[in-house]
Amino acid sequence: MKWKIRFCKKDRIYTLEETCTKCGGRTAIPHPTRFSPIDKYVRYRIENKLGKKIDC
């Protein structure tokens, strides 16, 4: 299964949900070029939060 990391522009947080868990707004797929430099960091955080490994 392929995880899709999404981003809330309003809260500047990453989530796997289509709706932001914080503000309830729609999340968007982060821009690839801006996303890649923080990819490892974001994955680490989300993996910790969810307690499972993600692959993307």
Judged by the rule CB under 5 A, the positions of this chain that interact with Zn ion are 8, 10-11, 20, 22-23, 25
For residue 50, give Cα distances in angstroms to 10, 22, 31.
22, 16, 23
For residue 5, give Cα distances in angstroms to 31, 55.
11, 10
Toward Zn ion, which CB reaches closer, 22 or 45?
Answer: 22
Residue type for 40, please? K
Toward Zn ion, which CB reaches closer, 2 or 12?
Answer: 12
Shortest Cβ 53–Zn ion spacing (Å): 25
Toward Zn ion, which CB reaches closer, 17 or 47?
Answer: 17
